[in-house]
Amino acid sequence: MITLYLIRHLKTEGFVKKYYYGASDIDIIDYNEYGLNHELEEIKSIYRNKYNINQETKNNYLFYSTGMKRCNHTLNILFDCFNYKIINELHEIDFGIFELKSFDELKNMKEFQEWMKGDNFDIAPLNGESEKVFRNRIITAFKAFLKDMSDNSNVVFSMHGGTIYEIMNYLFLDEGKKIEEWIPDFGKGYVLYIDEDIKYENIQ
């Protein structure tokens, strides 16, 4: 059986500023600067205490990132991990010309208005990705990733909310959940137990 932790990266400046961001390589916030150390410690304790991932056991795990700073640094902070593999193809959706701009900055832009009123599954922002293209990229890369995993692997993957949604929606489509129901809080996610069938639990 493969045990796979899909973990959403920690909070970013983009989230704080309410930006559209996906392909932009922005970093996580300084939790201390925002007075959120208690929140960060709660997240760390989940992995240490509930899942027993710590300094003594982490050599039993394979660690992965999408290669973006916010995912790399999440592994650094939560698991004191600096040795990980990168799969770039699982990075977040590209919002094109809308990247690093807030709704208020975009709401009067003609291209944004048309995109908001259109079919976002098939229509991409200028220089960005449609959800259809994004989904195909994620599922193709995820299948290839699983194919390379050996039985009895324990894997921690730091990735993005949109990426996690596409994977969970693909694996558990029959649950009929919406995107906001699948995207986990920052620093949390899902544990997948992959054998002849696939089961999951929420990281909380």
pLDDT at 120: 80
Domain enclosing residue 199, as ranges? 2-203
CATH number of the domain encompassing residue 78:
3.40.50.1240
Q: What is the rounded distance in angstroms from the CA atom of residue 4 to the CA atom of residue 110? A: 42
Give this prediction's pTM. Answer: 0.96
In angstroms, the Cα distances linking 184 to 111, 190, 204 are 29, 8, 10
- Separation between Cα atoms, residue 21 and residue 15, nearest integer Å: 8
Instruction: Quote the tokens at residue 184.
Output: 């986990």
Q: Rounded CA gap, 153 and 176, in Å?
A: 29
Cα 109 from Cα 98, distance rounded (Å): 10
Which of these, 94, 83, 34, 35, lies nearest to 59 by C-alpha position?
83
Question: Is the Cβ–Cβ distance between 68 and 25 less than 8 Å?
Answer: yes
In tens digits, the chain (204 residues) has pLDDT values of 999 999 999 999 999 999 999 999 999 999 999 999 999 999 999 999 999 999 999 999 999 999 999 999 999 999 999 999 999 999 999 999 999 999 999 999 999 999 998 878 999 999 999 999 999 999 999 999 999 998 889 999 999 999 999 999 999 999 999 999 999 999 999 999 999 999 999 999
Kindly report the length of the chain. Answer: 204
pLDDT at residue 119, rounded to an integer: 79
In the prediction, which pLDDT does 95 show?
A: 97
HSE (side-chain half, CA atoms, 13 Å) at 47:
27
Place of tokens 């997948």: 192
Domain total of the chain: 1
> What was the pLDDT predicted at 89?
98
- Amino acid letter at 79? F
pLDDT value of position 151? 87
- Nearest one of 191, 38, 19 to 105, comparing CA atoms: 19
Asked if 158 contacts 74 with a C-beta cutoff of 8 angstroms, the reply is yes
CB atoms within 10 A of CB 191: 17
